[in-house]
Amino acid sequence: MTDNVSTHQAEEDARNEDILIYVNGKVVPKAQAMVSVYDSGFMLGDGVWEGIRLYNGRWTFLDEHIARLFEAAKAIDLAIGLTQEQVISAVLETQKANGMVTDAHARLMVTRGVKTRPFQHPKLSQRGPTMVIIMEHSRQKLPRPIRLATVPHMRGLPMTQDPKLNSHSKLNCILACIAAEKAGADEALMLDVHGFVNTTNACNFFIVRKGAVWTSTGDYCMNGITRQKVIDLCRANDIPVFERNFSLVETYSADEAFLTGTFGAQTPVGTLDGRVIGTGQLGPMTERIRGLYKTLVGA
């Protein structure tokens, strides 16, 4: 066994064997939570999703996540068939059924539904959409610094698979992650089409240099909600923050690097391509931003 860590570090929780899962309006035990083999999500990765987190009775930035879900659904011409309020009600209903009050994470998924034939054309998706909410107990651990490796896979231009779509199909990112693991790392650092540092396969990426926080321009990565909150927190707390192009040269010699995402909040980066970043441990700026974020979300 390799000693892999990831940005999705949480304590093991046996209660997750007994959770109830929302499937198309019903909340059912995990063992009975099924979708069809003809489902567009299973067959083709044809769907969109959001990951959301519950801290002390409040789903963090829920309205923004639901708005992003609807934006993505519109982009792929998928009619969710519910209002944003009804989707929020489904989240709350699932939470209530599971008796969760804090430290939970949900993956809210909507696919184009069940197909009549096993082929790609969206017109064949006749029954649906399919909506599933997997809500798990998830208490964050203090994250260990993760190891990144740069890979050849990119989150690319908007006219291929727009990097701003939280699509069910994650194959591009999965290939990136596999390449990183084969290089002895935990996750992949993906460059943009110009070779500038962009994002990881599952999170947004930041570096710290001389007291300033840098992240990519945002043109080629997921418009992460946590990313934006970190930028806003920096601005509100007089921490210089720049959305800009930068290369691996500036990244290897950064004082700190960290990742952002709803699940892990801010995860420190220990090494990149075998180079130790800063001390290789959680750095003071990352720690400060983690603290500010924790206060913001009421964790």
Ligand X SMILES: Cc1ncc(COP(=O)(O)O)c(C=O)c1O
Question: Which residues of the chain form contacts with ligand X (CB under 6 A)?
Answer: 51, 166, 173, 199, 202-204, 222, 224-227, 260-262
Q: Which is nearer to ligand X, 20 or 46 (CB)?
A: 46
CB of 133 to ligand X, least distance (A): 15
- 58 versus 96: smaller Cβ distance to ligand X: 58
How far is the C-alpha of 126 from the C-alpha of 128, rounded, in Å? 6
47-55/58-59 β-pairing = antiparallel
User: Shortest distance, CB of residue 203 to ligand X, whole angstroms?
Assistant: 5
Residue 26: strand pairing partners: 23
Torsion of CA 289, 292, 298, 299, to 10 degrees: 40
Helix residue ranges per DSSP H, 99-242:
171-182, 225-236
My answer on whether omega of the bond before 163 falls inside 30° of 0, hence cis, is: no
- Between 128 and 163, name the residue whose CB sits nearer to ligand X: 163
Nearer to ligand X, 36 or 217 (CB): 217
Smallest distance from the beta carbon of 63 to ligand X, in angstroms? Answer: 13
Judged by beta carbon, residue 47 or residue 261, the one nearer ligand X is 261
Minimum distance from CB of 291 to ligand X (Å)? Answer: 18
* Cα gap 97→185, rounded to integer Å: 38
Are the beta carbons of 240 and 234 closer than 8 angstroms?
yes
Torsion, Cα 187 5 49 200, to 10 degrees, reads: -20
Six-digit token string for 34: 């099924």
Shortest Cβ distance from residue 223 to ligand X (Å)?
7
In this complex, which beta carbon is closest to ligand X, that of residue 53 or of residue 115?
53
Rounded least distance, CB 34 to ligand X, Å? 24
Min dist. Cβ of residue 118 to ligand X (A): 27
Number of other CB atoms surrounding residue 273 within 10 Å: 16
138 or 262: whose CB is closer to ligand X? 262
For the record, the structure tokens of 97 come out as: 């059924």
* Phi and psi torsions of 105, nearest 5°: -135, 140
Residues 6+ apart with CB under 8 A from 287: none
